[in-house]
A and B are shown apart, each in its own frame.
Chain A
Amino acid sequence: MKFFEKLMKIDRRIIYLILALVVIIPFLRPFLIHPRAMPPVENLYNHIDSIPQDKALVISVDYTPDTEPELQPMTIALLRHAFARRVKVGVLCLGVLGLGLAENALTQVANEFNRRATTQADSIIYGRDYVFWGWQTPALTVILGMGERISKVFSVDYYGNKTETLPMMQKIKNYNNVGIIVSVSASATPLWYITYAQTSFGVKVGIASTAVQAADMYPYLNSGQATGLLSGMKGGAEYEELVQTRLGITGRRRATEAMAAQTSAHFTIIAFIIIGNIGFFVLRRRKK
């Protein structure tokens, strides 16, 4: 009897310790598990893959440092894909705390490509291949304003350059020149893009969200309002897998690396739930 009672009342500190171990150990001894891309991820990949040369991919970095481990790998994978396909990229933030993360991602991926580049044409050059517009507020002004004229919303970029003077911005004027906006977010900002940018201007919207938030996004995926969805760490890992296997772009795959820790954490949580239920059922049967 006492054994089953104990099964139902495991001290929370023991649970914390076990979880910490199962998360930390896979990072110390990593094993890569290659995920298989699900249709929502593949749809987003295919859409970005087919963006014509005269249109841009817009990435809205709408997350903060707390969700960086889950969402930053998605931004990096999206940038690798776009740069490999020579799709022009515009990056903006609806929240001020996303600026540093966007800057880190852009610098990292641009450096990766530039280290491999042998000519000027191979290189990823700021202003020609990508622009970091920075942050503006309020969000409604930004989302609707970009439909009219991007350079009016962001008169200067993150580094203080006049946006209109940048070569890329000669062709990318408003949503008519945008292939898709991907909102990488831990909140409801992708829905703002759907509500305002898509409804008013017809621009395509892709979503990259935390696993917790993803359930809220499925109605929009079903209705076709969202072109694709990267859901949580697994979504990021699936996108990394597509970028590497289809384009041969190598680089650190943080989402795929984290899959081992996520796998062991999920198994641990499931094991604890089963243990709790065994105790619950045995005690209930004995009470009867």
Chain B
Amino acid sequence: MKRRIPLAIVFIFGVLGAIPFLVPHRIIQDADNEFRNSVLRIIVAFSLVLGVGSIIRHHYEKIRRKRENWQYSYVTLISLVITAIIGLFGGIEANGILPTRFLVPFTKYTFHFDIQTLYTNIMVPLGATMFSLLAFFMTSAAYRAFRARNIEATILLFSAFVVMLAAVPLVSRVFPKLSFFSEWILTVPNTAAKRGLGFGIALGSMATSLKIILGIERGWLGGTQ
């Protein structure tokens, strides 16, 4: 029973999910609208509860067992609580019931900690910093890995040079044809390769989806088949 019910749910909703794309009849389309606009949203709302519960449990356990770097879990949990309180009660830009804007005594300045200020001054720089580290790793990796060892590697290297140089406006100004050659590389050989990959991935996804819907592939149920 523990296996049959999930398998039946997957089969029913898998088939129901595909039918509206094939049958344009009003009844089918209305049912699909209802399913998407109501049922799906409720399911997603549950995932939020699941997500918050999961992160709290994970970090609580980490602190309790004093696992490696457990101190950082306090940062996560405290940030989660503070952000949630400010977000829920402070409004977007200090327009909620929780005051998130104070006049600094003896000055004309105000101190803000509304959700938009926190987001702009904490989330944005942190995110950008993490992503910008990629530039360093990419440079180091390109220096070590890009070697013209054989003809294929040489073609790859040449293409990379053209695309990188074309992304520099100064070079594009001096050698206008280089930009068009770079566009050609992206438009023709790149597209040919991407389409081939795309077909392969699409066929693979269809096959896997069918196997899951029909209950042939049961790995997602967990445990042994």
Contacts and interface: CB of A to CB of B under 8 A. Distances in A.
A228 to B, nearest CB: 13
Contacts of B41: 137-138, 141
Interface residues of A, number: 64
B100 interface: no
B121 to A, nearest CB: 10
A113 interface: no
Interface SS majority for chain A: helix
Interface residues of B, number: 53
Contact of B127 (A64, A265, A273): A64
A66 B136 contact: no
Interface in B161-188: 161, 164-165, 167-170, 172-173, 176, 179, 183, 186-187
A222 interface: yes
Nearest to B48: A137
B36 interface: yes
Interface string B113-130: 001100110011111101
Interface SS majority for chain B: helix
B36 A219 contact: no
Contact of B161 (A33, A137, A216, A270): A270
Nearest to B130: A66
B169 A219 contact: no
A66 B164 contact: no
Contacts of A23: 135
Interface stretch (B6-14, B52-60, B142-150, B203-211): B142-150
A268 B164 CA distance: 11
B131 interface: yes
A53 interface: no
Contacts of B115: 100
Contacts of A39: 183
Interface string B143-159: 11011110000000100
Interface in A210-242: 211, 214-216, 218-219, 221-222, 232-234, 237
B92 A38 contact: no
9 closest Cβ pairs, A-B complex? A65-B127, A66-B131, A100-B119, A35-B169, A66-B127, A272-B143, A65-B124, A33-B169, A263-B168
